[in-house]
Amino acid sequence: MQGAKVTAVDISEGMIGVAKKLADCHGVKIDAKTMLAEDLKFEDNTFDIVFGNGVLHHTYRPAAYEEVHRVLKPGGRGIFIEPLSYNPIIGIYRHIAQSVRTEDEKPFNFGDLKRLKSIFAAVEHREFWLTSLWIFMRMFLVERLHPANHRYWKHVIINHQQYQKLYLKLRQWDDALLGRMPGLGRLAWNTVIVLAKADEP
């Protein structure tokens, strides 16, 4: 909506259709293509930014990492939001919700960050959703929403007005806790990863 030229990629034709409808709804144009993250059909050094939300943990990561690096322009950035594997509560949720998950899902760990550091010139990450996970606990214990029947993250988005005040308060606690004790970040639900490709020599 600010004038960027956007190419959308997904393995699912259905999701590409959703992306096109969303773009039409906002009056913007995108170039949407069905494609594998591990085999991007673009020339080298094509994009200034590659962004993905919950994408890499569905891929064969070594190939996907190399493809992101290849299609980025020198000095370009990759920005990804990915789930972490360490929190035992989220582990229980994933086990209960197996029927609505795909077989290829593997949440991130800090070993993935080491691999990324071997490919990209710089890798930064910041974790979030720690005490905010109480919202998920509330859905399960109070609202009695079974994880096998409800995607909690989707429920939060659709019903954001219901959870907004609680989330904002928990977000303040998260910022305070993670600011003082960043080691607690491994127990968070998600991490934001920013990758930088080296400038041309």
Going by pLDDT thresholds of 50, 70 and 90, the confidence category of residue 131 is very high
DSSP secondary structure code for residue 201 in this structure: -
pLDDT per residue over 150-198, tens digit each?
888 889 889 999 999 999 999 999 999 999 999 999 999 999 999 999 9
Who has greater pLDDT, 153 or 128?
128
Q: Quote the percentage of the chain above a pLDDT of 70.
A: 99
The pLDDT of residue 105 is 84
Going by pLDDT thresholds of 50, 70 and 90, the confidence category of residue 45 is very high
Radius of gyration of the chain (CA): 18
Residue 54, both tokens: 């919950």
Going by pLDDT thresholds of 50, 70 and 90, the confidence category of residue 201 is low
Kindly state the average pLDDT of the residues 9-26. 94
Residue 76: exposure state from Cβ atoms within 10 A (0-12, 13-18, ≥19):
buried
- Confirm if 72 and 45 have CB atoms less than 8 A apart: yes
**How far apart (Å, rounded) are the C-alpha atoms in residues 97 and 154?**
14
The pLDDT of residue 115 is 93
Can you tell me whether residue 152 is helix, strand or coil? helix
Question: Hey, what domains does the chain have and what are their CATH numbers?
Answer: 1-35 (no CATH), 42-196 (3.40.50.150)
Per DSSP, the chain holds a count of helices (H) and strands (E) of: 7, 6
**How far apart (Å, rounded) are the C-alpha atoms in residues 86 and 128?**
13
The pLDDT of residue 1 is 85
